[in-house]
Each structure stands twice: as C-alpha cells, then as structure tokens.
Amino acid sequence: MSADTGLPRYSVAELNQAIGSLLERGFAPRFLLEATVSRPQLKKGHLWLTLVDEQASISAVVWASQLSRLAHQPQEGDGVVVVGKLNFWTARANLCVQVLDLRPSLSAVLRQFERVRQQLEPEGLFALERKRALPPLPGAIALLTAAPSSALADMLRTAAERWPATRIHVVPMPVQGAVEAQVRARLAQVIAAAPELAIEAVVLARGGGSREDLAVFDGEGLARDLAACPLPVVTGLGHEDDTTIADLVADYRAATPTAAIVALLPDRLAVHQGLRQSQILLQQRLLQRLERERQGLMASRERLERHHPTLLLDALRQQLRHRLDLLQALSPQRLLERGFALVRGADGRLLRSVRELQPGDPLQLELADGRIDANVRRVSANRSSSHD
C-alpha cells in the first residue's frame, strides 16, 4: 500500500481514543433507553446484563455502588426503561451502557399486572360479594401514604373540612421503588394496633406518578394481605385512569387519594342539612300527632259530656216521668175517676162474674171517692154469658 494515499494514519490506541472522543462530543451524556433485560448476572458485586429489543442488543452494567440504589431489581425478560450513559474502554474498543437508574417499562408493568390478576381472580379476591361496606361515621382511620407529601396534605385538609371528629392516624410508608415488603409491614402494624386505637378503616394512598411507579401495588403478597385485612380498605392510588391489583382487592377503589377521604368520611355540611331536615320532619310529625291527640281528646270529652252523671240522671228522671205517666194512665184509680167501680165480695176479693154472687150476699163497691157496703137483691146474667 502506498504511504502517500492521503488517508489519516492511526495506531490502534490512537484509533480507539479518536472513537472515544467522537462519542463524548457527539452523544448525549445521559439518555433513556427502552429495552428487555437478558442474562442478568452478578460478577464481583457488579450486575452485568444485556439490553435487547427485536433487532439489536448492547451490553450494560450496574456498578456495585449504584446497584443498591436501584428502584427496581431487573429479572430475566423484564421490560425496563434505563437511565444510562455510554462507557467506552479505549484499550479494547469495548462499548457498554452504564446503568444509572432502571425501572420497569409500562409493557412489563402491565404484563405483571395481568399475570397477578389471572392468578388471583379465580380465587374470588376481586369478587363484589366479598367487599365490605365502609363505616358510616368512623371514629378513627389509618392513612398509609408517603409523609410528608402533597397527597397527605390534601387528605388531611379534606378530612378536617368534611368530618373533623374522625381521628386520623398517619402511617408513613415508602411508595417509590421495590418497597412492597415495607408496605406490607406497615399494613401489618396497622392491623395489630387497630383494636387499641379503635381504627375502623384503612386508606392506602399514593399521589400522582406514572403507571410504572404504581407497580409496587400490583404485588401478589400485598394483594393477599389486603384481602385478609380485618378492616375495610380504601385505595387512592395514582390518577383516575390507573388501576392496580390493590385497587381490585380493596373494598372501595377511589380515583385519587383525596377521593378516598371523600368516600370514607361524611360531609358535615350534608349531615347537618340532613339532621335539620329530619328535625323539621320530626316536628311536623309531632305536631300532626299532637293534633290527632287533641282531636281524640275532644271526641273523648264530648263522649264524657254525653255520659255525664247529671245528663244520665236527667235522662233517667225523664224515663221515670214517662213511666210514671204511663202507670198513672193505666192506674185503676183513673178508671174509677171515669165512673167505673171495683166490686168485692165479703172477703174483699174482686168479683169478675155474676156467677160468684147469690141474692143476699154482702158487697163492697169501691168508687173513686169512697166505698159502699151493699147486699145483692137479684142476680141477672147476660144472655151471652148464660150460654157459656
């Protein structure tokens, strides 16, 4: 080959240094990379893996100093989003992605969600009939969420506005990264303390974040803990469109942390209005009852007045007068006053037939104004009576 071809001449080291300089000047110092994890393995405390897609692959490494700080520990086949930068070793012209942070990709999160859902659904953990009603006026509730956080501040403000009588027990928990075990531990603490603190419901909340950030609430272990929780569970995780496994297991799923408080605590203004309406209704019913009782008392009074002893005595006197008049009208004395007479024998017995007398028998004739003693001279019977 001719030495004066005009092409640049490099040694191997010079070439590799030139490539390294070119990469440093022409490539972003940090970038996001969507890939699938292949063949992860630990070597001397460092995690080596291959990042692949459908068409290519590249080596990657997580240095030991960074590995413990990762939000997600990658497994074979996991879809991930990597925050990384390029590492180029000039000695061997070896190119590698240095992983600064790593989290599951949305596709991986959704696959995990679907896997757990298919596993738990046949067991009835999502069934509507197992979901419990929320307490109408809880005396105390537990809030499991990040503290401090804007979500917690919103929930506490909403609770104070709606129903300040409820005691709020804030239980701080991590909500970012691979923290399912810690979330489960906080839940177990709440369940253990519930009898002593009179806790009546649990709120599991996390404000905002991407669907990937909510992957911690898709765990099978947490789902089983929530299903076994003796207290009603309300979830308020992420945004309205986000649904996690924990949401499916919970007794009530709210769209946001604030909505969870709204669902669990009554609105004191609405309760006051309801009590006022109930008071008005009770007053109306009481007045109606009093009016019915008043009318009943008036009717009873009228009946009593109609049966007053004076009126009864007057009625009896009237009846007695009528009967007395009747007796007087039927009295023999009245007949005597009309000219009739009572005829008695010598023994004082009333005589009703001439057959009871003989000539010479003594008689007593009783008139209206006195008595006459007489003797029978002659007895004459009526023709009709003589034929009897």
In a shared domain, residues 92 and 207: no
In a shared domain, residues 163 and 276: no
pLDDT at residue 4, rounded to an integer: 59
pLDDT at residue 388, rounded to an integer: 47
Going by pLDDT thresholds of 50, 70 and 90, the confidence category of residue 239 is confident
In a shared domain, residues 254 and 143: yes
| Domain-located, residue 42 | yes
In a shared domain, residues 199 and 222: yes
| Domain-located, residue 307 | no
C-beta separation of 176 from 208 below 8 A: no
Q: What is the DSSP string of 326-347?
A: HHHHH-HHHHHHTT--EEE-TT
Among candidate residues 62, 82, 104, the one where a domain is terminated: 104
Query: Helical H runs in the chain?
Result: 12-26, 64-67, 106-120, 150-162, 180-197, 220-228, 245-249, 257-264, 268-306, 309-330, 332-337, 383-386
Question: In this structure, what CATH number is given to the domain that contains residue 68?
Answer: 2.40.50.140
How far is it, in rounded angstroms, from Cα 87 to Cα 90? 10
pLDDT in tens, 46-92: 999 999 887 888 999 999 998 888 877 888 888 888 899 998 888 88
pLDDT at residue 186, rounded to an integer: 96
Q: Residue 75 is inside which H or E element, if any? A: none
In a shared domain, residues 253 and 145: yes
pLDDT in tens, 321-351: 888 878 777 777 777 777 788 888 888 888 8
Among candidate residues 246, 278, 299, the one where a domain is terminated: 299
| pTM of the entire predicted model | 0.59
Phi first, then psi: what are they for 330, rounded to 5°?
-95, 0
Given a cut of 50, is residue 293 above it in pLDDT? yes
In a shared domain, residues 286 and 238: no
Domain extent, residue 178, equals: 110-266
Going by pLDDT thresholds of 50, 70 and 90, the confidence category of residue 3 is low
In a shared domain, residues 249 and 356: no
Query: Helical H runs in 265-308?
Result: 268-306
In a shared domain, residues 140 and 84: no
Q: How many domains does the chain have?
A: 4
| Domain-located, residue 319 | no
How confident is the model over 7-35, as a mean pLDDT? 86
In a shared domain, residues 198 and 282: no
Phi first, then psi: what are they for 85, rounded to 5°?
-145, 160
pLDDT in tens, 22-41: 887 878 888 989 888 889 99
| Domain-located, residue 312 | no
At a CB cut-off of 8 Å and minimum separation 6, what does 345 contact? 351, 356, 357, 361, 362, 363, 364
Going by pLDDT thresholds of 50, 70 and 90, the confidence category of residue 191 is very high
How confident is the model over 212-224, as a mean pLDDT? 91
Going by pLDDT thresholds of 50, 70 and 90, the confidence category of residue 367 is confident
Using alpha carbons, select from 187, 248, 190, 188 the residue that is nearest to residue 214: 248
| Domain-located, residue 283 | yes
